[in-house]
Structure 1
Amino acid sequence: MNPDQRNWELSKYPINDSGMMKNTFESMFKLINKPDSVIGMYNDEIPNVTNPSVTQFTLARPLFQSAYISPSVKLKFPDLAKLLENTKVPTESQNNVVELQTANKALQLKHFSKSSDFGKDLYADFVAPTLKKSLDTETWQHDGSLPSACHRQYSVKNIKSIYIEVSKTTITNPHDHAKWAVTVSSNDLVEDTNNWVCLGDINRQPHQFYRGGGTMCIMNQQLWQSFYTTIQSVEECGKIISIVTYLFKQLSFVIEIVQYVFIMNA
């Protein structure tokens, strides 16, 4: 699946030492010791490398497992060099969004980044208000997760299950570790082209309020439709059970905050 192709397809290429992973890592390692090159293998939290995105980088604070930065790039981006060494770089803000473009300017992108000090939900408190769109989010839901948020100008609902037509597979949320979101279309799918799909690294859970990370949002109707049409069911709002669930999860949130404060002051 790509921006020019709407439907999902099973790849004919295996994921092994002769496939995508091998070719990706092989081309990456060939850059080591070459001038003006940077390599970073990170854990969980998404980085970007362009100059304005170094700020995004410092907010998310990715946890690098291995890295290489050429001397020339190190001189030009000293903060980037520190981040590759897993050294915290002070920032003036707790969250930031930058507008980016692909090399051929074919895709419009917005990268959202938040620090561990942001203290709020990435999607309901940052992405949805910025895009001015309601969202359906597919983030891993398990103990202590946030309920759908419908008491806002732009609602953020949890996806409960998705269906992949090409493999005839239904995936329920507890079994899906993905972290993506799509804007909710209020018009005909063909006519409404002002839609985004966001791919990131943060779940809708209270403890992730205090974790650095973010999401890359892409405005492309084909990509958006590819994700949007997989949605099988969402967690609706307005029912008594939703209120009870919300109150219970708020109590869980308070307990987590107390535990967090206790650990930080221990």
Structure 2
Amino acid sequence: MTDASQDRTLTLGYSPCPNDTFIFHALVHGVVDANGMRFTERLEDVETLNRLAAAAALDVTKISYGAAPALLRDYVLLRSGGALGRGCGPLIVAREPFTREQLAGKRIAIPGRNTTANLLLRLFAPDAEPGIERVYSDIMPAVERGEVDAGLIIHESRFTYPQHGLVKVVDLGEWWEQTTGLPIPLGGIMARRALGDETIRAIDDAIRRSVEHAFARPDDARPYIRLHAQEMDDAVTQQHIDLYVNEHSVDVGDQGERAIRELFARAAAVGIVPSDHPAPFLADEQVHA
């Protein structure tokens, strides 16, 4: 592909979690054809990425779908590289079980106000108190120590919360799937609209190639994944990748797009996100022609 994207270096934000390092390894290391572009990565937790996107600080970035409506004036959603699926939603955990009605009086640690997890919590339990923000990796220890009554957990925490003596109160992804029949949209990739449609399509195409390479040659990314996975052992790392990287990561697909629009519509209907935003995807055109 020869276009305005050639010979450009772009900033790319994503998390150090295994699903993201698995997806983007080939792209940032020059393993796949990036349509003449180079990418400088910035690894941060997703709420930090949401805030960087709100400041239009990155050319391309992972974001929470819950934050996306407020970003759509400056950014557009890409079709590749995101995290959507089934059986992969956030959980509310606590030291002891309690009912949905009892959520209203609980102190709940959340991984960020703009996260999809917090949006789902607000849709599920609109009477719940505003959450107490913590870095996602600090939430289970805070619940375990009794600093908060419950925690809204994401990422690999869904595999490890029993090790902290915690119990599941509700699986918000399961609630979403039962309510809508759609996969849960967790995190997407956005590109700055100022880059222009042609460059945005080239970026999306390059990310798709990186995901396809990761599926075809999964061992290539292992050292990079381990470098950023910190305390996570290999078995949990693989569970994490298997859960969050799937066909929707190659292309969001019709069902994934319906799920994203449904999330936006439900949040807008109760005034959580703006309803007067631009179209989330490039207008009615196939990115991957």
TM-score, structure 1 length as denominator?
Answer: 0.24
Q: Pick the structure with more helix per residue.
A: 2
Higher strand share: 1
